[in-house]
Amino acid sequence: MTALYPWLEALHLSLADQLRQDRMPHALLFSGNPGLGKLALAQQLAGTLLCNARLPDGQACGKCPACAQLAAGSNPDFLYLTLEEDATAIKVDQVRALAGALSMCAHGQGFKVAIIAPADLMNTNAANSLLKTLEEPSDNTVLVLVSDRPSRLPATIRSRCQQVRFNTPDPKLAMEWLSGHLADAQQARICLELAAGAPLAALELAADGVVEARRERLGQLVDILEGRATALDVAQSWSKDEGLQAIRWMRDWLMDMLRIRMTGQRQEIRNIDLADALDGLARKLDKRVMFEQVDRINRVLVAGAGSLNRQLMTEDILLAWAAGQ
């Protein structure tokens, strides 16, 4: 078995306790922000439930035939339901097939386990079909629904699941784990901050080169002010970002610049790796202008951005930046 993420150990123990006390519910809903390891824990729990020779701490043994089959992706008592290729929703046929498989006796000695992830992407028919399975669960089946956005699931489904909420781990624990994966401690700290404390999301951001991308974008803002680049050129490159990412970063930077300006210090800012550049900008710009920039960005983000408007919105913001308005 792969080692469990350290911040999930307590949750896994409490689930293993429920199992030991024969109180394992038929359905669980794992919810919480992305990047906290919900799916990993669901898989770990599946391993625990299916193992024929569980260890005293509730972990799967990793050696018995059921564990070996699970590792090879061929355990017939384990089902994993997710989006089919190119699909945007989990469909009713998939749920029906799952229900059919669950209604048959387990091949091994114990449980049948199904994971549905992301459960909130079931369409209405699929959710209705799942509801029937939840209302009439067969013995020794455990369904684990995994969702970043549980409020999108019908209340009727939520109410039939035991909810397991994943919280942001203690930052110290998260940093300890992250520094085992990222050599640069400052990079780890920044990515964890940007990922709102979710360690796996932080690692993904690091792999995507987010630290460098932010630095480059902030450099472009300086270039505009110093005449090395035009607002329109920069807008064109920024508008390709997914979800107006650079604009969101720009708002964060402006907030930090305001913090520096108000307190005269840079200790409290979020983007610590960009402190020098932000400090320089904070001294140059008018406070009122910075507030107006933040307002403008908020209006744009609230309005939402279809791909057609993205470039215009970005231009609007950067032209105002260039004009110092």
**Phi then psi dihedrals of residue 55, to 5 deg:** -80, 160
51 binds Zn ion (CB under 5 A): yes
**Closest alpha carbon to 238 in 144, 155, 305:** 305
C-beta pairs of 179-187 under 8 Å, 24+ apart in sequence: 181/206, 182/206, 186/272, 186/273, 187/211, 187/273
Shortest separation between residue 30's beta carbon and Zn ion, angstroms: 22
71 binds Zn ion (CB under 5 A): no
Per CB under 5 A, the list member of 61, 89, 131, 173 interacting with Zn ion is 61
Q: Residue holding tokens 């999930």?
A: 8
Query: Residue 67 or residue 297: which is nearer to Zn ion going by CB?
Result: 67
The stretch among 55-63, 84-92, 203-211, 267-275 that binds Zn ion (CB under 5 A) is: 55-63
The stretch among 63-71, 234-242, 273-281, 302-310 that binds Zn ion (CB under 5 A) is: 63-71
67 binds Zn ion (CB under 5 A): yes
User: How far is it, in rounded angstroms, from Cα 16 to Cα 164?
Assistant: 13
| Total residues at interface with Zn ion (CB under 5 A) | 6
The stretch among 18-26, 38-46, 64-72, 262-270 that binds Zn ion (CB under 5 A) is: 64-72
**Closest alpha carbon to 145 in 118, 168, 182:** 118
Query: Residue 52 or residue 309: which is nearer to Zn ion going by CB?
Result: 52
Q: Are the CB atoms for 197 and 174 separated by under 8 Å?
A: yes
Query: Residue 53 or residue 97: which is nearer to Zn ion going by CB?
Result: 53
Shortest separation between residue 62's beta carbon and Zn ion, angstroms: 6
Per CB under 5 A, the list member of 40, 64, 101, 289 interacting with Zn ion is 64
User: How far is it, in rounded angstroms, from Cα 44 to Cα 24?
Assistant: 15
Residues from 253 through 312 that contact Zn ion (CB under 5 A): none
Is the alpha carbon torsion for 270, 274, 276, 281 positive or negative?
Answer: negative
Residues near Zn ion (CB under 5 A) are: 51, 53, 60-61, 64, 67
